[in-house]
Amino acid sequence: MAKVGIFTLLTGIAGPSGFGSASTAEKVTDGIDASDLTAIVTGGASGIGLETARVLALRNAHVVIAARNMEAANEAKQLILKDNETARVDALKLDLSSMKSVRAFVNNFNAQNLPLNLLINNAGVMFCPYQLSEDGIEIQFATNHLGHFLLTNLLLDKMKKTARSSGIEGRIVNLTSVAHLHTYKGGIDFNKINDEDSYSDKKAYGQSKLANLLHVNELARRLQEEGANITVNSVHPGLIMTNLFRHSGLGMRILRLLSHPLWKNVPQGAATSCYVALHPSLKGVTGKYFVDCNEFAPGKLATDTVLAKQLWDFSNKLVNSA
């Protein structure tokens, strides 16, 4: 298993995959033809989501940008088409914090009668002040985990049918974060998901990112058991200054200044998502965590199978009651 440390991050030295922290999304997908693939990228209107969508389209995939802000999504589409006139790009509205919006998105996508090979669960919010979603769920848990949990479950049948009819392996990629190491005691605070008094914006974010990893591990187990031709993996994109940091304070900005050499640009930040989504060397690889395009060991809680099953059941109850 790859060892990704400070030296690797600072130097950009490649790991066993041949890629490292300095690799870009274009570099890791060089020579790959994705013309037979259709992909959904959540949060594809800006930041690393937009770069992921752009590079997938550059490799000839049909890309559906799923975004809350349709004006931004259509601008992103035009930006991609400006540099790549033959790109196949669509935009559909999706607010992951709303279970109603997730269901509407899936209905709208299914109405287009498109196949679905790749699902990149990229969108997210970070360090938000305490807030509940329209369904009464803490906003970071609702957006980062629960929305993607429901979206993935509702699209699974489409992905299974596509994999069967095309013979092409389907791939699901969840963006998580090294922040999954910094969460509440026990990992997921099931009894206090919506509790304002015990709320910590940093720990709530870490909890939602741990949930992304646990979701991947449990889903990978279930799909393997079923014999479905779909892999599911998690990626940590690295430290990138995007719109996610709009809620961060002065302390985070000072930290960024002091740790400047560790930060990536957006093309580097999208590399691991694109690598895990498209690279042929990962055929059949599932339930793994990737950092800088190399497999990495996540925190202990992320590999807790009991916690993963508990989260799955808890999430099902929440989306069914929403």
Question: Catalytic pick from 184, 199, 205, 289?
Answer: 199
Name every residue whose Cβ is closer than 8 Å to that of residue 226 and which is 6 or more positions away in sequence. none
Give the residues across from 278 on adjacent strands.
Answer: none
The two beta strands, 88-93 and 62-67, are parallel
156, 226 contact by CB (below 8 A): no
Distance (Å, whole) CA 287 – CA 309? 14
Structure token digits, residue 322: 């929403």
Indicate the helix (H) or strand (E) that contains 221.
helix 201-226
User: Cβ atoms within 10 A of the Cβ of 64, count?
Assistant: 27
145, 208 contact by CB (below 8 A): yes
DSSP E strands in the chain: the ranges are 38-42, 62-67, 88-93, 118-121, 170-175, 230-236, 289-291, 294-296
Q: At what angle do helices 47-58 and 70-83 cross, to 10 degrees?
A: 40
297, 178 contact by CB (below 8 A): no
Distance (Å, whole) CA 169 – CA 115? 12
Closest to 149 in 3D by CA, of 311, 13, 301: 311
User: Cβ atoms within 10 A of the Cβ of 157, count?
Assistant: 11
Active site residue 199: yes
Indicate which residues carry an active-site annotation.
199
